[in-house]
Amino acid sequence: MIEVEARRWVRPPQLRTLEAADEDRRATWLELFFDLVYVVAIAQLSTALSRDVTVHGFLVFCALVVPVWWSWVGFTFYADRFDTDDVVHRGLMLAGMFAVGGLASTVIDAAVGETTSFVIAYVAVRAILIALYLRAWRQLPPARPLLTAYIAGFSTASVLWLGSLAFPGPGRYAIWALALAIDLGTPLASRRAIERVPVHTSHIPERIGLFTIIVLGETVLAVVVGTETVSWSVEAGVVAGLGFTLGATLWWIYFDYVDASFAGRSIWARQLYLYGHLPLVAGLTALGVGVKLAIKATAAGELGDPGRWVLCGAVALAFAALTAIHLSASQSPRDFELWLRVGTAVAALLVAVAGGGLGPVAVVGVLAVVLVLQVAVEIVARGRVAGL
């Protein structure tokens, strides 16, 4: 009886994506709970950028986005393939969630150069993921080529992260760059093995979409926070409304006009779709900071260069990412919508370059008009395609 109960509580990992490839799979409650800790992580990244709105601050922000986003990718893709929802899996996922919380709490310190705690927290996150993969390796011989590559690559990167603590200043960051290159490059170098252990074609796009919603939520939060910290005025209200419009149009474009289907895509196209979300996450998070700065700038009547560049650069980065994501599903590089998004990114950069001296209403207003026009054009174009 005890043995039967133990089997119910502890089940070996299974290769779910081969056993139920056609199943319409949805996110589990555990996955949704796990995502909540990234609300804090994105907020911390936003705060770090808000405190240093310079070129250096933006580069540091982008560098910190990578391990935070990649930690989410690691657990998400493991769960997609091997989740059995037993006690061991739940325990390790919850431990990973706690470790990510620790990682989030160290982001602001890492942004100002106090990086030891950030490194230790990130290595703890990766160690838990590696433990999950080791468990799957023991039980699933057919998946071992991929699991061996992942365990070796992620372990090597983790050792480099720990080794970076022995080096001060630029040397430490150079080792980080190498470690991240190995971390992110391991799946790219494992395409043949991935073909034998595919991801679920409905589950992964949903999970990525849910994470994108979390990041978009930071833009909405920025509008709320921005209006709380300034004296209320008509101009501040207008900028807040326009800032919300930016977030809403990006939501509209991403969820209505970006093809999230994995079905029929090559491994290369799926990886472009995934990695294209890295700059999208950075751009959407920075957009929240830019909107908040624009609202605060209404008191002075002018949006300074740092705020303008963060806001416009965020829009440009987001649309560059949307272009890459769209390209992963496009049948032709001549696709009209593809070039429309490139044009929007260029337009945002032109506002950043030529918008010196403009007030926050003008800057945010121009961006809002450009994005609303893009939505309108895509509605008309899709309507014609659909015969509406």
Contact 263, 249 (CB under 8 A): no
Per-block average pLDDT, block size 10, for the chain (388 residues)? 53 72 76 94 94 93 96 95 90 96 96 94 97 94 94 97 92 95 96 88 90 90 73 86 94 88 81 94 95 87 86 96 87 73 94 89 95 91 58
pLDDT at 385: 47
The pTM for the full model equals 0.92
Question: Cα 336 vs. chain centroid, distance in angstroms?
Answer: 26
Question: Which string of DSSP letters, residue by residue, matches 40-68?
Answer: HHHHHHHHHHHT--SHHHHHHHHHHHHHH
* Residues in Cβ contact with 179 at an 8 Å cutoff, skipping those fewer than 6 apart: 157, 158, 160, 161, 164
User: Rounded distance, CA 365 to CA 351, Å?
Assistant: 11
266's torsion region: left (phi>0), alpha (psi -120 to 50) or beta?
beta
> CB under 8 Å to 148, separation ≥6 — which residues?
137
pLDDT value of position 167:
92
The span from the CA of 127 to the CA of 109, in Å, is 22
Residue-level pLDDT at 12: 81
* Cα radius of gyration (the chain): 22
237: tokens are 């209200």
Q: Could you give the CA distance from residue 203 to residue 216 in angstroms, rounded to a whole number?
A: 20
